[in-house]
A and B are shown apart, each in its own frame.
Chain A
């Protein structure tokens, strides 16, 4: 069973389009995260949700809008995609009191 899953794994799209990435975890965790990994492999946190509530928003452009319909899901919608949005996006989850994050397989986004 996959603990943290993301769809799609690959996404190729044109500049200006709107796209969504979905994340689901079946670990019973209450905290979920979105990270962006750029071409230099730098992993930077974007958002954190705890029990469907936005807790961390790391000065991400408002073209990025996370949504958490329940604590097992955290989706990322991106409007008006730009070339600089090309990256690998990772979802992760943890139990609020726990110390270890579990990562999804990543979604490679390529904006042309």
Chain B
């Protein structure tokens, strides 16, 4: 089964500190993409970072970076220097190929609270 597991329903971090959100997934494909999306209270889904599975180098976007462990099927998100605006639901997702198109599977989300 194609699944994405986010085992932390909720996380808290002090402002300016670092937090890591975990994600594991299950796929039989060898080539796929992985994503982290952020959903603030406005409910807009915002792409945070993406990773191509064929690339060994971990993706980085400013304060956001990933730890991609392909063999372990793990894709964690690290947020450095946390800011109040980082408070949101974070969803891990991956893209698979199905019936000639692409399908995106999402995890159940992790709610991140940032404490002042």
Residues of A within 8 A of B (CB): 31, 33, 40-45, 48, 50, 55-56, 88, 90, 92, 94, 96, 99-103, 105-106, 108
Contact = CB atoms under 8 A, between A and B. Distances in A.
Contacts of B108: 40-42
A61 B99 CA distance: 20
Contacts of A96: 101-102
15 contacts: A31-B102, A41-B89, A42-B106, A44-B106, A50-B101, A56-B98, A56-B101, A56-B103, A92-B104, A94-B102, A96-B101, A96-B102, A100-B35, A101-B47, A106-B45
Given A41-B109, A105-B44, A99 B91 contact: no
A23 B23 CA distance: 30
Contacts of A92: 45, 104
B64 interface: no
Secondary structure at chain B's binding surface: helix, strand, loop or mixed?
A: strand
Interface of B: 33, 35, 37, 39, 42-45, 47, 50, 52, 89, 91, 95, 98-106, 108-109
Given A55-B101, A96-B101, A105 B47 contact: no
Closest A-B pairs by Cβ, 9 of them: A103-B45, A43-B106, A99-B33, A55-B101, A41-B109, A106-B43, A50-B101, A105-B44, A42-B108
A100 B30 CA distance: 18
Contact of A31 (B39, B42, B101): B101
Nearest to A55: B101
Given A41-B89, A105-B44, A106-B43, A100 B101 contact: no
B61 to A, nearest CB: 13
